[in-house]
Structures are given as C-alpha cells and as structure tokens.
Amino acid sequence: MIIVMQAGAAEAQLAHVVARVEGLGLKPHVIVGTERTVVAVVGDERGAASGGLETLPGVASVMPILAPYKVASREVQPEPTVVRAGSLVVGGGTVGVIAGPCSVESRDQIVATAAAVKAAGATGLRGGAFKPRTSPYSFQGMKERGLELLAEARAETGLAIVTEVVSPEDVPLVARYADVLQIGARNMQNYRLLEAVGRTQVAVLLKRGPAATVEELLLAAEYILDGGNRQVMLCERGIRTFETHTRFTLPLATVPWLHARTHLPVVVDPSHGTGHSPLVESMAAAAVAAGADGLIVEVHPDPKCAASDGGQTLDFAAFSRMMTVCRKVAEAVGRRL
Ligand code: PEP
Ligand code: MN
C-alpha cells in the first residue's frame, strides 16, 4: 500500500508512521517527492487493514499499490528517477551515453577507447572484466586486473565506469572499482545477485533477460530497490525471437511502455540488440527518438580484433558519427545528449 503524508507533515509524524508500519511486520520505503512524501509499504499486508494507519497524525490517505512491482512503480513515485554516478547522468531529460569495449583487453585498448568515446561525448565507459560467456572456452575476461585497468582509464579521463558483476561473492570487489554495477542479461533472474547489489549504494544497470517479459524485468529491479538501493537503470538489450537476421530482436516499444509504469530510467543497448555494427547507429537514433534515457554501445579501437562481440562493435569514427546523429535526434525530442 501507499501511505500519502499530508503536505507539511512533521518529521516526527513520518517517523511515527514508519514505526507503526514496522510494528505490523511490514517494510516501509520512504519516498520524498517534490510535491509529497509517501511511504510505500511492502510485505504481506493482509493483517494491516486493522492497523489504523489512515488515522495516524500527518497521514493524508492510504491506498493500494496495484502494480506487482511496488517501489519501482509510478504510482509510488511520479517523478522520474535520475541516476547519477560520477560523470554519468541518466534520466530527467539527459541522455547518458555509456561506450567502450565488450571486454577490457589491455591498458592501451581501454585508455585509448576511453579518450576517444569521451571526445565524442560519452559520459560513461563500459568494459567487461568478468564476462558471462555462452561457451566456457571463450575469453572469460581479465577479472581483477581488468578492473584495475578500468580505474586507470577513469583516472585519465574522468569517465564513470560501468562494468559487469556475475556473482554475489564478487560484488564487494567489483563495487570497489565500479561507478555502475552491470547485471547482465543472463543474470537478470539471479535473485541472490540482485539482493547483493541491492545492499550496496552503487548505481546498477539491470539488463533485460533475452527471454524475460518487461514485467519480470521490473520485478527483478524491485529486488534491488527493496534492498535499499534506489539508483537503478533498466536496460533493453534485445530479446530472443524466431527472427535470425539480427542477433536479438530490439523492441523499442519497451521504452515508452516502461516510462508509463516506472520512474526508473531506461537505457537501450543497440549493440547486443542487433549484433551487427552497421545497424547500431540507426537503432541508437531510434532509441533516443523513442525516449530512451541512455545508450550503452560497444566501441573498440579495432573491432575485427576484439576479444568478444567484434561484429557488433563500432570503431571510433563510427561512434563519433553515431553521436552526431543521436545528438540531433535528442535535440528534436527536447532532450540533452
Ligand atoms: C555485455 O554488455 O557485454 C553483455 C554481456 O551484455 P548482455 O548481458 O546484454 O548479453
Ligand atoms: Mn558484449
């Protein structure tokens, strides 16, 4: 349920409501908006009807949250969440662009890419150090050494680092280096991993599983929010369909659909979404036109030699052209990029 506080309700009244909710064995999430403060109450509410919450001082109204995802829903927080992680801002009219290689491969590779994508206007640097590969015989990433190289690239360019964490026990290590923890598509429903990143205060980029519905994506985000971490971005990266001309099918209707139901920003990945570098620029521009709050794009100094995902990776010149097009589209739809 949502407990809506009266405008100007006192701190002590809010604290009293929170204590009463906890006393009922339920979990309160206080959301301070520009117009009103609400307490989203989660847990098994069956016994709460008798709690008399609507009669407490400072309470304006109590209503049910209809969506199955609670803290993620627009009902609870009408204002959009803006994710801020170092140089990266995603949401609230700013389109944040995260660019970089699929995998960190060497110091030269990551530092040169960071400098090039920053010059073209990216505000975040991506690079996988822990890679979830379909085959156990494929390159699995440089692990901690890769994280150190990402930190060096950040020190040289100031770009925020976005990097994947694949297991709960690695979260403390990756969180020491990352500005944004990426949860990959294959791990969207790894609930212990979602709980582990929910216990940090590091921003999270949660990618949609290729066979997950958008409602399942929102419920996965709810695990992170319920843990107390509110800096969550959702990422549409393409789903599995019968179609084979692209690696995945990139459904951009996800963007306005999610915007209508959640306050969380939505990022689109046209690299994994298509699997083919010649398609990336058009789909990035289309994503911005559809209202995406951010893009995550694979860029490498020499894509044909990339250790992973070279076929969908842009070189520096192609990324720069993509940014020029996306900037024009952003301006046309009233956003900054
Ligand atoms: C990646 O970003 O390199 C990646 C592995 O993406 P996904 O989890 O979407 O497949
Ligand atoms: Mn990749």
**pLDDT tens-digit map of 282-336:** 999 999 999 999 999 999 999 999 999 999 999 999 999 999 999 999 999 999 9
Residue where one domain finishes, among candidates 63, 98, 114: 63
Query: Do 198 and 239 reside in the same domain of the chain?
Result: yes
Ligand with the closest atom to the CA of 312: 2
Same domain, 94 and 42: no
Express each pLDDT in 125-146 by its tens digit. 999 999 999 999 999 999 999 9
pLDDT number for residue 133: 92
Q: In which element (H, E) is residue 329 found?
A: helix 316-332
Establish if 220 belongs to a structural domain: yes
Cβ-in-10-Å burial (0-12, 13-18, 19+) of 150 comes to buried
Q: Which atom of ligand 1 is nearest to the CA of 187?
A: 8
Same domain membership, residue 91 and residue 59: no
Q: What is the CATH number of the domain that holds 55?
A: 3.30.70.1140
In which residue ranges of the chain is pLDDT below 50?
none
By alpha-carbon position, which residue is closest to atom 1 of ligand 1?
A: 102
Question: What pLDDT is attached to residue 50?
Answer: 62
Asked whether residue 36 falls in the same domain as residue 88, the answer is: no
Q: Compute, in degrees rounded to 10, the torsion defined by CA atoms 187, 192, 193, 195.
A: 130
User: What pairs with residue 39 in β-bridges?
Assistant: 3, 30
**Are residues 288 and 251 both part of a single domain?**
yes
What is the extent of the structural domain holding 253? 83-332
* Ligand nearest to the Cα of 308, by number: 2
What is the pLDDT at residue 229?
Answer: 98
* Residue 268 alpha carbon to ligand 2 centre in Å: 13
CA of 183 to the centre of ligand 1 (A): 8
Answer yes or no: do 143 and 15 share one domain: no
Question: What's residue 44's pLDDT?
Answer: 83
Q: Is residue 68 part of a domain?
A: no
Please give the distance, rounded to the nearest whole angstrom, from the Cα atom of residue 13 to the centre of ligand 1. Answer: 45
Please state the atom number of ligand 1 nearest to the C-alpha of residue 103: 3
